[in-house]
């Protein structure tokens, strides 16, 4: 298994390696260029001497050769038929010979071998000083490279510490959350860079998660409470059924009926809770265009069919004459939301002369179309209005009259939110009106485009 290296170490290592490679390459290229330049100079100067020698008379050549007597001067041999006939005083008697013109080592010289008329000239241009210069330069370059690498190490450590500081802060923050089990916002790094954006996004995620956790806790608490009650009813009635010998037949039948009814209520409650949860996860991209008229007539027909035994109930449904735009909806959710509102209206309308009015309406300015369901009755007190959309809230008047799961309007709200819509409630002493607002198809696609610009 490879040892784990922190991002900081990896970055420092990479920066130092890259800078060292760059410095070394640059130095090598510089030294090579200088060496090439020196070689070119030596070659040119050697040819100048040869040109000078070849332009001299035969007799003068010997004198000229004799003038090169210092060790730093070029060394010249003149040969004829392979025998040395003259040489400069700074030469050795033995001639080191290269088969071609070019470099010779130890000592380093540039050797030119040329035939001029009957004479052959061999000229060694000493490169000792050039070589020494190159060696000195190499030492300097090596020192500079090493210093550069060391400096890059310091700079890289400083830069990575500075760059990765926010990551460290975020890691510490997450570790703290894991240790304490509590979510808290991350510190936002200075400057509007990518880490600032990342920390901002993480904070949004954290607050969503925290909200969801609180929501789940509240849901669990509510659900537990509202499931325990029917369980108590089931247990009580089972006791009555089991004591069958001591109770009358009608009591037995009543208990069995109560058991079935309670089971149905529990199943309904669980179904509604699941529907609320499901609504929270519906992607907006699943919405399809739908006509509200069709939905209203479908549900109103069913409600009429079911309330034929309530002759005093007046159910009135109408749509505007002109065509309404299609709305973006998930038909099953829209149907369930409308049913929830209808059930609420039927439950709370005046018991002796109930009136329920269903209207399809449009708000062209906001890009929403809606269904309003109004009912007569005692209305909702202003101080209760903000709570009627809360889960399991029944209110003072509701508690005594209603038999539902208490999730109706809250479920409708979740389902409408899942479709990008809203729910609105207004109420006075004698009339309550709930409106389900759906986005029209055009405004839905505009909203999607804003959310996912492509």
Partner 1 sequence: MPSTLVIEDDVRIARLLLLELGRAGWETEWRSTGREGSQACASRAFDIVLLDLMLPDIDGIAVCHMIRQTTDSPLLMLTARDAITDRVKGLDAGADDYLVKPFAVTELLARMRALTRRRPVSPGDWLIVGRLRVSETRHEVWVQDSPVELTGREFSLLYYLMQNAGVVVTRDMILERVWGWGYGGSAAVVDVYVGYLRHKIDWHQAEVYLTTVRGVGYTLRIRG
Which residue from 18, 36, 147, 267 is in contact with partner 1, where contact means CB under 8 A? 267
Which residue from 343, 359, 398, 426 is in contact with partner 1, where contact means CB under 8 A? 343
- The 363-402 site mask, x for binding partner 1 (CB under 8 A), equals ----------------------------------------
Considering CB under 8 A, how many residues would be counted as binding partner 1? 25
| Least distance to partner 1, CB of residue 320, Å | 22
Residue 333 makes contact with partner 1 by CB under 8 A: yes
- Do 345 and 303 meet the contact criterion of CB atoms below 8 Å apart? no
Instruction: Rank residues 1 and 305 by Cβ distance to partner 1 and give the closer one.
Output: 305
How many other CB atoms are found less than 10 A from the CB of residue 428? 10
CA distances from 372 to 163, 342, 385 (A): 56, 10, 17
Instruction: Rank residues 19 and 329 by Cβ distance to partner 1 and give the closer one.
Output: 329
Residue 407 makes contact with partner 1 by CB under 8 A: no
Residue 332 makes contact with partner 1 by CB under 8 A: yes
How many other CB atoms are found less than 10 A from the CB of residue 173? 19
| Least distance to partner 1, CB of residue 183, Å | 27
Whether residue 125 is preceded by a cis peptide bond, meaning omega within 30 degrees of 0, is no
Residue 336 makes contact with partner 1 by CB under 8 A: yes
Return all residues near 36 (Cβ < 8 A) that are at least 6 apart. Answer: none
| Least distance to partner 1, CB of residue 335, Å | 3
Instruction: Rank residues 347 and 397 by Cβ distance to partner 1 and give the closer one.
Output: 347
Residue 216 makes contact with partner 1 by CB under 8 A: no
- The 295-324 site mask, x for binding partner 1 (CB under 8 A), equals ---x--xxx-xx-x----------------
Instruction: Rank residues 113 and 272 by Cβ distance to partner 1 and give the closer one.
Output: 272
Residue 439 makes contact with partner 1 by CB under 8 A: no
Residue 263 makes contact with partner 1 by CB under 8 A: yes
- The 4-43 site mask, x for binding partner 1 (CB under 8 A), equals ----------------------------------------
Residue 236 makes contact with partner 1 by CB under 8 A: no
Instruction: Rank residues 200 and 404 by Cβ distance to partner 1 and give the closer one.
Output: 404
| Least distance to partner 1, CB of residue 339, Å | 3
| Least distance to partner 1, CB of residue 224, Å | 17
| Least distance to partner 1, CB of residue 243, Å | 24
Residue 76 makes contact with partner 1 by CB under 8 A: no
State the residues that interact with partner 1 by CB under 8 A: 263, 267, 270-271, 274-275, 277-278, 298, 301-303, 305-306, 308, 331-336, 339-340, 342-343
């Amino acid at each position: 298994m490879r040892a784990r290296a922190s991002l900081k170490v990896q970055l420092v290592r990479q920066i130092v390696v890259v800078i060292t490679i760059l410095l070394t390459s640059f130095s090598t290229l510089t030294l090579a260029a200088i060496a090439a330049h020196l070689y070119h100079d030596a070659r040119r100067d050697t040819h100048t001497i040869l040109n000078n020698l070849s332009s001299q008379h035969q007799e003068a050549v010997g004198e000229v050769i004799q003038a090169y007597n210092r060790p730093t001067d070029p060394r010249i041999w003149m040969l004829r038929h392979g025998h040395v006939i003259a040489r400069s005083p700074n030469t050795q008697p033995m001639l080191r010979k290269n088969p071609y013109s070019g470099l010779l080592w130890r000592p380093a010289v540039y050797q030119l071998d040329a035939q001029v008329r009957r004479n052959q000239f061999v000229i060694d241009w000493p490169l000792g000083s050039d070589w020494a210069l190159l060696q000195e330069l190499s030492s300097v370059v090596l020192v500079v490279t090493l210093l550069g690498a060391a400096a890059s190490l310091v700079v890289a450590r400083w830069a990575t510490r500075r760059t990765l500081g926010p990551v460290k802060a975020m890691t510490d923050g997450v570790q703290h959350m894991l240790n304490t089990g509590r979510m808290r916002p991350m510190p936002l790094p200075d400057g509007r860079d990518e880490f600032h954006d990342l920390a901002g996004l993480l904070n949004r995620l954290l607050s969503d998660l925290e909200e969801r956790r609180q929501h789940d806790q509240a849901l669990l608490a509510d659900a537990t409470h509202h499931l325990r009650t029917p369980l108590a009813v089931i247990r009580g009635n089972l006791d009555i059924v089991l004591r069958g010998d001591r109770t009358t037949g009608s009591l037995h039948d009543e208990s069995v009926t109560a058991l079935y009814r309670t089971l149905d209520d529990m199943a309904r409650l669980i179904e509604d809770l699941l529907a609320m949860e499901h609504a929270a996860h519906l992607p907006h991209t699943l919405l399809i265009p739908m006509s509200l008229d069709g939905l209203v007539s479908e549900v109103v027909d069913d409600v009429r069919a079911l309330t034929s035994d309530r002759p005093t109930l007046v159910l009135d449904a109408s749509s505007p004459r002109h065509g309404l735009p299609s709305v973006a909806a998930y038909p099953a959710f829209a149907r369930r939301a409308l049913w929830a509102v209808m059930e609420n209206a039927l439950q709370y309308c005046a018991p002796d002369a109930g009136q329920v009015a269903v209207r399809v309406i449009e708000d062209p300015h906001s890009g929403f179309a809606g269904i309003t369901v109004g009912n007569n009755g005692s209305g909702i007190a202003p101080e209760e209005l903000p709570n009627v959309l809360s889960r399991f809230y029944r209110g003072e008047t509701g508690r005594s009259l209603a038999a539902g799961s208490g999730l109706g309007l809250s479920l409708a709200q979740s389902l409408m939110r899942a479709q990008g819509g809203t729910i609105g409630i207004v109420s006075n002493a004698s009339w309550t009106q709930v409106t389900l607002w759906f986005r029209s198809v055009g405004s839905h696609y505009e909203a999607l485009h804003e959310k996912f610009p492509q």
